[in-house]
Amino acid sequence: MATYIVLLGPPGVGKGTQAVLLAQTLQLAHVSSGDLFRENIKNQTELGKLAKSYMDKGELVPDDVTIAMIRERISRPDCQAGVILDGFPRTPKQADALDAMLAEFGGQVNVVPYITASEEVLVERTSGRWSCRAQGHVYHEKFNPPKQAGVCDVDGSELYQRDDDKKETVANRIRVYFEQTLPLVGYYRELGRLVEINGAQTMEQVTADLLASLKKLDKRPLSPS
């Protein structure tokens, strides 16, 4: 049966960084809603134009289009073994839609690592984040610098700072996170799926904690607790 892991946590806590590592280790697909929106913006699609108007303000893109985008993505063959979801769901409506679509695919949300850090850490991480134009590989000018400033180690493309990583926009994204996404913590906790992970550690420590928590959960029954 396919494995579905939802990485939950505030903007800049390290979901994307960890999702890449987990996807490699566990041989699962990495699906990032933010990356999918940025790809649509780059390709100038209608969805991209719509998404940009929300992303620039640090607001959430409406549920219906976000759900449809994720549904299409996780239906593809590379997701058959399972998916690490990074940035989705972000609202209770998205969480309900995810449950319904996974039930259709014969699966369910197996585990929800909830990565946390203080607001100060989030601001420090987002303000030093550099992303690659070609494929969205992520660096940090202080904590994970590329070998050559401004150039992606993996594909040699240019690194840029996201518009929505400006301090004012980050503050709004954190506010939006508390208002709209935080209810999911209670939702997944009640279902017995939540594992809390301290995100304010080195990347390697966070990865080790994540892998340990996934192993422990392997042995637990998957029905709601």
Q: Is 34 in the site for ligand ADP (CB under 6 A)?
A: yes
**Of 202 and 225, which CB lies nearer to ligand ADP in the complex structure?**
202
Residue 160, strand partner residues: 131
The answer to whether 15 is a known catalytic residue is yes
Is 173 among the catalytic positions?
Answer: yes
76 is catalytic: no
Kindly state the DSSP code that residue 144 receives in the 8-state scheme.
B
Distance, in Å, from the CA atom of 6 to the CA atom of 32, rounded to the nearest integer, reads 10
Among the listed residues 145, 106, 114, the one whose alpha carbon sits nearest the alpha carbon of residue 129: 145
Q: Which helix (H) or strand (E) holds 139?
A: strand 138-140
Shortest approach of ligand ADP to residue 64 CB, angstroms?
11
Closest to ligand ADP by CB, 111 vs 117, is: 117
What value does the CA radius of gyration of the chain take, rounded to a whole number of Å?
17
Cβ neighbours for 212, distance < 8 A, ≥ 6 positions apart: none
Active site annotation includes 129:
yes
Residue 116's SS3 state is strand
Number of residues that bind ligand ADP (CB under 6 A): 36
How far apart are CB 16 and ligand ADP at their closest, in Å?
3
Closest CB 211 distance from ligand ADP, rounded Å:
14
Query: Which residues in 104-143 contact ligand ADP (CB under 6 A)?
Result: 125, 128-129, 138-140, 143
Contact stretch for ligand ADP (CB under 6 A) within 42-50, 59-67, 105-113, 217-225: 59-67
- How far is CA 90 from its chain centroid? 9
C-alpha distances out from residue 144 to 21, 135, 187, 205, Å: 14, 17, 33, 14
Counting contacts by CB under 6 A, is residue 30 touching ligand ADP?
no
Residues that bind ligand ADP (CB under 6 A): 9, 11-17, 33-34, 37, 54-55, 58-61, 66, 87-88, 90, 94, 125, 128-129, 138-140, 143-144, 164, 173, 201-203, 206
Active site residues: 15, 90, 129, 162, 173
